Chain A
Amino acid sequence: MLPQALLRASAHLEGERIVPHYFTPKDQPWLRALIDEYASFVGKRRTELHEHLRERLAARAPKTKLRIAIVLLDGMCRAQASAAVPPKEVRAALFRAAASSRATREAVLSAVAASFAVTASELEGALFADLQGERRVAELPAGLSPSQLARHVNLAIVSSLIRRAVQVEIVVRGQCRALIRQARITGLICRASRSKHAPEGVVLNVSGPFALFHHSDLYGRALASLVPRLASAGQFELRASCALGRDGQLASLAWQSGDPVEPRPDLPRPERQLEKKFERAFRRAAPEWDVAHEPPAIASGEQLIFPDFELVPRHDCARSWLLEIVGFWTPEYLREKLQRLSAAGIERFVLCIDQTRTCADLELPKDPRLIPFKTRIDARAVLGLINAGYAATAQHARLR
C-alpha cells in the first residue's frame, strides 16, 4: 500500500473517472538506473542511499514516481543492522554510565568501549546501528527487472486506490473461488451471479457492511486484499466506486486483465480454521468418504451458490453431498435459500449456520438440511444428516 500523500499523486480525476498513473515502458530507463543504484549501495546505510537518490539519479525520473518506486524497493529489500556490538546493549550501558559519571563524553565512551572490547569509534558506530535510517541496504530480489518493478508498483497503486473503494463489481471469466472465499473471510458482503454479457463469466458485487453509510477504511483494506488474487484470476474486469475526492465524493476506477499489473500466483488459498477443523473431523468420522474443496458453483435462478465442500462417498461417487458454511442474517434468508436449492433440484445439500456471529438466539427454520454450530461444525451431525438422507431416499425408492 502507498502512503496517503503518494496515493493522491498516483492518480488524477477526469470528471468522475479515476485515471491511475501507471508505470509504463517509458519509465523503464530510470527504473533500471534506480535498481542499479540500490545494487551499488548494498551494505551501506539506507539514509546514505536516500540522500544520494535525492541528489541525483543517472536517468531523469519524474519526482513522484521516483518516490513511489523508492517506497516499493525499500519494502522489497529489508535493510539489516550491521554493528560490532549489539546496539541495544551499547545504549543500555553507555547512557547509564554517562548518567552516573562526571567524566567527559570521550572518557565515558572509552570506558564503555573497553568493557565491550571494541574501540570508541566502533562503539559510537554501533550506538544506533539498528534504527531504520542506519540500517544497511540489503540485496534486491534476484533478477528484478525494470518491467517487473513497474508492474509491482502498478499493483500497489491499484491496491491503494481500491482501499478507498466503497464497493466493487468484478466480472471474472476464470477461477473466482479464492476471491469469494477471501471476501467472506474478511467480512465483506459478496453476491455472485451469472454475467448477462458473457455466459462463462461470473459477476461479483462486493462491499463492506458499512458501505451503506460511508467509506470505511477497515472494509477498504478488505477490498484491497482482493486485488493480488484478482491479478492472478485470468480474465476479469473490475469497476470500483472509490471515495477519493474531497468530502468523500465517489469516483469510478476501472481495472482489467491486460493492464500492466504484476500477478501474484503464489498466494496461499485463504482458509478458515473452522473449515480445516471440520475437514479433519469429517475424515476421521467418515473414512470411506472423500472431502473435496470448492466444488463448481451451482446456478439458482440468477444467483450462483458456491458450496465450500463436496463430500463424496467412495462407493457411490455420483451421490455426493454439498456443504456450505453460511454467514447469515435471518430465517427468511435461509428459507429463501432452501427454496432456491429445492427449485434448482438440489436436495443433497447441507447448510451449516454459525449461530454465534450474527443470530444468537434466532429460531432456525425447521429443515433437516440445516446444522447450527457455535465454535465448530459437528462432523458426526453432518454424517448423521447424510445417512438419514440416504435412508429416506431408500424408503422413498421402496415405496415407489
Chain B
Amino acid sequence: MRLLFDHGTLVLAEAPELEPGRVPGLLWDPRIALYRAPAWRYSQVRAALLACPSPLRDEVKPSALSEPASWHALELRPYQRAALLSWELSGRRGTIVLPTGSGKTQVAIAALRSSAVRALCLVPTRALLEQWSFALRAAYRGSVGCLGDGRRDLQAITVSTYESAYRFMPRIGAQFELLVVDEAHHFGSGTRDEALEMSIAPQRLGLTATPPSEPALSRLAELLGPTVYQLSIADLAGKWLSDFDLVTLQLGLNPTERADYDADYRVFSAYQRQFRRSDPEATWQEFASLAAQTPEGRTALNAWRRNRHLLHFTEAKAAAVGVLLERHRDSRVIIFTADNGAAYRIAREHLVMPITCDISRAEREAAIGAFRAGTLRALVSARVLNEGIDVPDADVAIIVSGTQGEREHVQRVGRLLRPMPGKRALIYQLVTRATAEVRRAFERRRAFAPASAASR
C-alpha cells in the first residue's frame, strides 16, 4: 500500500479491499478508484494502516524542505514552562489559553524548539506576520520563511497569514509536522478550518487568550487538540502582568436619545417577551433567525439594532472621551469603539490617530511606531487593536463600546497589561445608565476571575 498527499487529502494506492471503518476517515473515492482521507487524519490513518497485514509505503512525509536548524537557549517563566509541559504530555496536540501579554509567543517558540520539526505558524494579520517573523528570527538559527503579504518563501520554520495558509495548504499541507495557530479562537467554525483540515501536521499547538464557546470549542479540539493549559488575567496580574484598575463610568442619555431608546426598547422587549413565552430555551441566534422571518420580528430586530447603534456613541460618551483625554494628557491612551464611524468621529474631534481596517498596513505600523516612540499620545480603534498587535507602553484605555462581548473585552484589557516596572494600568469602561449596557458590563467583569474559579 502507498499513502500519498493530494491537494489537501491523503490518497491510498495499491491497497487491498479494506473493511469500512477500519481506517478512520478513509473513504472510497470512485472518481479516481482509490481510497481517500482528509489530510488532518494523517496520524490516525497511518497508525491504522501500519496495523494492516499489507506493508505500507508512506510517501506523505515532508521531503521538499530541509531539516530545521537549531534554536537559541530560551528562558521561560514558571507558568510558561508548565504550559509547555502540559502540551508535551498531551501528545503535542492542544490549545494553551493564556492572557494577552503573558508571552504566548515565547511558549510557542519553546514548543518549536522542543519539537525540532518543520513547522508552520499561522497568524491572523499581516502585522502579526511581521511580529512573529521578528520573534522567530531572534530565537532560531536558520532562516525563517514567510507566506503572505506578497511573500512566498517556504522554509523549515515558516510564518503564514491565515489567508495564505488557506490558499496554499492544498500544495504545502504535507511539508510541515507542526502547526502553531496564534489567536486560535478564530478557528472552529467557518472556512478557515479548511487550512487545518488540509495539513498532515501530527503536532498542533493553538494559542489564545479567549477560547471560543461550543460548538466551535469541540471542533477546535478535533483539529488542534483540547485545551491543555489555562490561566486568566487574574492569575497573572500583579506579578507577570501589570496590575490594573477597571473604572466603570455610568453615563446618561440626553432627552432625545432617551426617548428614542425607550421607544425602540418597548418594541423589541414586547416581541421578545412574547417569543420567550413560546420558546424560553431558544438561543439568541435561534431567536434572531426566527424573528427575521416575520414582519413583527423584523421590526423588533431593527429596533434592537437602532438601540445598539445609539448606545455605541452617545452624546455623553463623546463628552466623556474628551474629558478623559484631557485628564490623561501625559499618558498613552488607547480608545476602543464599537465601529469605525465612532472611531473617525473621535479622530476628527480630538485629533487622535485612528487605527482601522481602512488605514493601510504601512500607515498603521508607522502610527503604532510613533505611539511607541511617544510622538503620538493616543490611538482610537474599533477592532484592529483588539488583539495581537504588540503595543507595550499604553497605560490608559477608554472602552467606549463593543460588539463582541466578553472575549473582546478580555482582549482589549490585555492590550494594557504588558508589564513595566511600576506600571498600574487604568481602564475606563463607559456604560449608559438604565440600558442593557449595565448588565453586559457586569457580565464582562466575570472574565477577570481566576481560571480555576471561571472553570467552576
Residues of A within 8 A of B (CB): 88, 91-92, 94-100, 102, 105, 108-109, 124, 127-128, 131-132, 187, 189, 191, 205, 207-210, 212-213, 216-218, 329-333, 356-362
Complex contact A99–B7 (CB within 8 A): no
Residues of A contacting B171 with CB < 8 Å? 357
Q: Is the CB of B363 within 8 A of A88?
A: yes
B351 touches A330 (CB 8 A): no
By a CB distance below 8 angstroms, the chain A residues around B217 are: none
Known: A128-B344, A210-B9. A99 touches B376 (CB 8 A): yes
* Chain B residues within an 8 Å CB radius of A132: 358
CB distance from A157 to the nearest CB of B (A): 20
* Bound-complex Cα distance A332 to B13 (A): 9
Point out the residues of chain A lying under 8 angstroms from B363, CB to CB.
88, 91-92
B residues less than 8 Å from A332 (CB atoms)? 13-14
Q: Size range of the interface on B?
A: 35 or more
Tell me the minimal C-beta distance from B218 to chain A in angstroms: 15
A92 and B366 form a contact (CB under 8 A): yes
18 chain-A/chain-B pairs, Cβ below 8 angstroms? A92-B366, A96-B376, A99-B376, A102-B329, A127-B347, A128-B344, A131-B344, A131-B359, A209-B7, A210-B197, A216-B8, A218-B166, A218-B167, A218-B169, A218-B198, A329-B4, A330-B2, A361-B59
Contact A358 B32 (CB under 8 A): no
Confirm or deny: B233 has a beta carbon within 8 angstroms of a beta carbon on chain A.
no
Asked whether any CB of chain A lies closer than 8 Å to the CB of B452, the reply is no
CA distance A175 to B413 in the complex (A): 60
In this assembly, does B38 line the interface, its C-beta being within 8 Å of a C-beta of chain A? Answer: yes
Q: In the complex, what's the smallest C-beta–C-beta distance from B160 to chain A, in angstroms?
A: 15
Q: Are A210 and B13 in contact (CB under 8 A)?
A: no
Q: Which of chain B's residues has its CB closest to A105's CB? A: B351
Q: Which of A209, A213, A330, A360: most chain B CB closer than 10 A? A: A209
Complex Cα distance A187/B173, Å?
14
Bound complex: CA A181 to CA B158 (Å) = 31
User: With an 8 A cutoff between CB atoms, is B276 at the interface?
Assistant: no
**Does the CB pair A99–B377 fall under 8 Å?**
yes
Which of B27, B166, B329, B348 meets A127, CB within 8 Å? Answer: B348
Min CB gap B326→A, angstroms: 10
B140 → chain A closest CB, angstroms: 26
Which single residue of chain B is at the shortest CB-CB distance from A101? B351
CB-nearest residue of chain A to B377: A99
* Cβ contact within 8 Å between A358 and B4: yes
Is the Cβ of A108 less than 8 Å from the Cβ of B351?
Answer: yes
Chain A residues with CB under 8 Å of B243's CB are: none
B375 and A205 contacting across the interface, CB-CB below 8 Å: no
Whether A212 lies near B351 (C-beta < 8 A) is no
Query: Do B4 and A95 touch (CB < 8 A)?
Result: no
Proximity string of chain B (355-387) to chain A, C-beta cutoff 8 Å, 1 when within and 0 when not: 000111001001100100001111000000000
Task: State the Cβ distance, B163 to closest chain A Cβ, in Å.
Answer: 11
Q: Find residues 1-40 in chain B having any chain A CB closer than 8 Å to their own CB.
A: 2, 4-9, 11, 13-14, 25, 27, 29, 31-32, 34, 36, 38
Task: Report the Cα distance A359→B370, complex, angstroms.
Answer: 51
Q: Which A residue's beta carbon lies closest to that of B344? A: A128
The reply on B283 being an interface residue by CB < 8 A is no
Q: How far is the CA of A169 from the CA of B97 in the complex (A)?
A: 46
Contacts of A109 in B (CB 8 A): 351
B395 within 8 A of A: no
Min C-beta distance of A243 to chain B, whole Å:
12
- Cβ of A210 and Cβ of B8 under 8 Å apart? yes
Instruction: Name the B residues within 8 Å of A98 (CB-CB).
Output: 350-352
Instruction: Taking A212-B9, A329-B4, A330-B4 as given, write out 6 further A-B residue pairs in contact, using a Cβ cutoff of 8 Å, ordered by the A residue number.
Output: A91-B353, A94-B351, A189-B32, A212-B36, A218-B169, A329-B34
Residue of B29, B170, B376 with highest tally of chain A CB at under 10 A: B170
Chain B 150-192, CB within 8 Å of chain A: the 1/0 string?
A: 0000000000000000110111000000000000000000010
Q: Does chain A have a CB within 8 A of B264?
A: no
Determine if B63 is an interface residue (Cβ-Cβ < 8 Å): yes
Do B2 and A362 touch across chains, with their CB atoms under 8 A apart? yes
User: Are A209 and B6 touching (Cβ within 8 A)?
Assistant: yes
B58-92 with Cβ < 8 A to chain A: 59, 63-64
Which A-chain residue is minimally distant from B191 (CB atoms)? A217
Residue from A99, A191, A329 within 8 A of B11 (CB atoms): A329
Chain B hits for A209, CB < 8 A: 6-9, 36, 170
Task: Check if B393 is an interface residue, CB within 8 A of chain A.
Answer: no
A358 and B6 form a contact (CB under 8 A) = yes
Structural contact, A210 and B38, CB atoms closer than 8 A = yes
Most chain-B Cβ atoms within 10 A of its Cβ — which of A127, A189, A216? A216
The answer to whether A330 and B14 have CB atoms under 8 Å apart is yes
B375 A99 Cβ-Cβ under 8 A: yes
Q: Given the complex, which residues of B lie within 8 Å of A208, measured CB to CB?
A: 7
Bound complex: CA of A384 vs CA of B59, how far in Å?
A: 31
CB-contact partner of A213 in B38, B169, B358, B375, under 8 A: B38
Q: Which residues of A contact B169 (CB under 8 A)?
A: 218
Which of B2, B31, B376 is A207 in contact with, Cβ under 8 Å?
Answer: B31
CA distance A128 to B340 in the complex (A): 12
A91: B residues at CB distance < 8 A: 353, 363
Minimal beta-carbon separation of A361 from chain B (angstroms): 6
B38 touches A95 (CB 8 A): no
Q: Is the pair B353, A217 in contact by a Cβ cutoff of 8 Å?
A: no
Task: Determine which of B27, B348, B350, B360 lies in contact with A212 in the assembled complex, contact meaning CB atoms within 8 Å.
Answer: B27
Q: Given A210-B8, A329-B11, A362-B2, is A216 in contact with B34 using a C-beta cutoff of 8 Å? A: no
